[in-house]
Amino acid sequence: MGRAYRLLFDHGFTRLDPELAHHGAFRAIRAATPLASRLICAPDRRRVGASAQVHALGLAFPHPLGLAAGFDKNAVGIDALAALGFGHVEIGTVTGRPQPGNAKPRLFRLPEDRAVVNRMGFNNDGADVVARRLAAWREQTRRLDGSGASRRADSPVLGINIGKTKVVPEEEALADYAHSTRRLAPYADYLVVNVSSPNTPGLRDLQAVEKLQPLLEGVRRVADEASPDRRVPLLVKIAPDLSDDDVLAVADLALAIGLDGIIATNTTITRDGLRSDPATVEQIGAGGLSGAPLTARALEVTRMLRGRVGPDLTLVGVGGITTVQDARDRLAAGADLLQGYTAFIYEGPLWPRHIVRGLAAVG
């Protein structure tokens, strides 16, 4: 079926507007959740077994592979995505205020490179709406479980990725992140501060350690206040375009302030080494590039971080993971967990199962 999907994608889906195709595919995934749970997720859970579990961030992940932020921005399909085989789902990026994102078109494919360019601009419903949705989801989870537990055994680990509202000036960024944290931390298994999207003006400036430290410390304080009965793990997501020195500076900061983990990496603004027609790439214009061209740098950053932070800090490897070998390489470089997004688009709904089975087979 994987080969059939690739043929359908290359000769059919590429004719559709990428953003409309995304919304249509996501609706189909949600509609097919009961079937997917029976045919895909449950058999794989028995086949992979407890040996694939990863213990990180004080949590038990059923296996290393999760879905990166960006696919489910508004927490509308968590169980549906888990039913395809993702062990953790990271929703968002969610901002303090609702916002429509950048002008369309804002999502583009580069099929020759198995890559995507996006300049979505954190389009989402805002922290208040997403919090209400998550409250309802958690309540439904408790009812279905019947035990009063906050999460069913077959539910994914839930990450919540938060970012800055575009219209909020830099000097008010902490208050904006704090609002999202206050509303969303009670529902998060882990929380991610996104300061690395290239599509919100000035956001990446917050990666400088002198700005990043007070931001992360402020979010930590608010998360503790919002969820006093448990400590919500806090991570930061960084860009692959940071210099090596800046990557190491973030690693040192994470250790100094007791951060729980780092997600490496977000999309890139570089366009080096692409096979796509340069005129096409130029016509697409600005935005973050994801997919296969990111593999080498994301792997390098992961290896660099692990060498700096030692064995205890959790590293999440994301960026250009397409094959089982890519996943193996990222784990060997020091990642505890993995995330995908672009390969899911290009390889189809059976891709998570393929990666998880492949890792289990060599594990």
Instruction: Report DSSP letters for 333-357, one per residue.
Output: TT-SEEEESHHHHHH-TTHHHHHHH
The Cα–Cα gap between 198 and 159 comes to 21
Q: What is the pLDDT of residue 37?
A: 64
Residue 8 has pLDDT above 70, yes or no: no
Residue type, 348: G
C-alpha distances (whole Å) from 66 to each of 271, 344, 356 are: 26, 11, 10
pLDDT in tens, 115-170: 999 999 999 999 999 999 999 999 988 776 555 455 555 689 999 999 999 999 99
Residue 80 has pLDDT above 60, yes or no: yes
Q: Which of 12-21, 143-152, 231-240 has the highest mean pLDDT?
A: 231-240
> Which of 197, 227, 276, 290 is the catalytic position?
197
Cβ atoms of residues 157 and 59 within 8 Å: yes
Residue 226 has pLDDT above 80, yes or no: yes
Average pLDDT over residues 62-73: 98
- Pairwise pLDDT comparison (43 vs 256), residue with the higher score: 256
Average pLDDT over residues 215-234: 98
- Pairwise pLDDT comparison (36 vs 52), residue with the higher score: 52
Q: What is the DSSP string of 6-56?
A: HHHHHHTGGGS-HHHHHHHHHHHHHHTHHHHIIIIIHHHHHHH-GGG-EEE
Whether residue 197 lies in the annotated active site: yes
Question: Order of strands across the sheet with 115-118?
Answer: 107-110, 115-118, 288-291
The residue among 142, 222, 119, 212 whose CA lies nearest residue 173 is 212
Average pLDDT over residues 22-46: 76
The residue among 113, 159, 128, 164 whose CA lies nearest residue 275 is 113
Half-sphere exposure of 230 (CA within 13 A, CB side): 14
- Pairwise pLDDT comparison (145 vs 1), residue with the higher score: 145
Q: Could you tell me the domains of the chain?
A: 2-362 (3.20.20.70)
- For the chain, the farthest-separated pair of C-alpha atoms sits apart, in whole angstroms, at 58
Q: How many other C-beta atoms are found inside a 10 Å radius of the C-beta of residue 362? A: 9
Q: What is the pLDDT of residue 142?
A: 75
- Pairing of β 59-61 and β 54-56: antiparallel
The Cα–Cα gap between 93 and 95 comes to 7
Torsion, Cα of 266, 269, 271, 272 (10° steps): -70
Q: Which residues are annotated as a binding site for FMN?
A: 69-73, 93, 161, 194, 237, 265, 291, 320, 341-342
Answering whether pTM is above 0.95, one says: no
Q: Is 133 exposed, middle or buried (0-12, 13-18, 19+ CB in 10 A)?
A: middle
Q: Which residues are annotated as a binding site for substrate?
A: 73, 118-122, 194, 199, 266-267
Q: What is the pLDDT of residue 39?
A: 60
Q: What is the pLDDT of residue 150?
A: 52
Average pLDDT over residues 174-193: 98
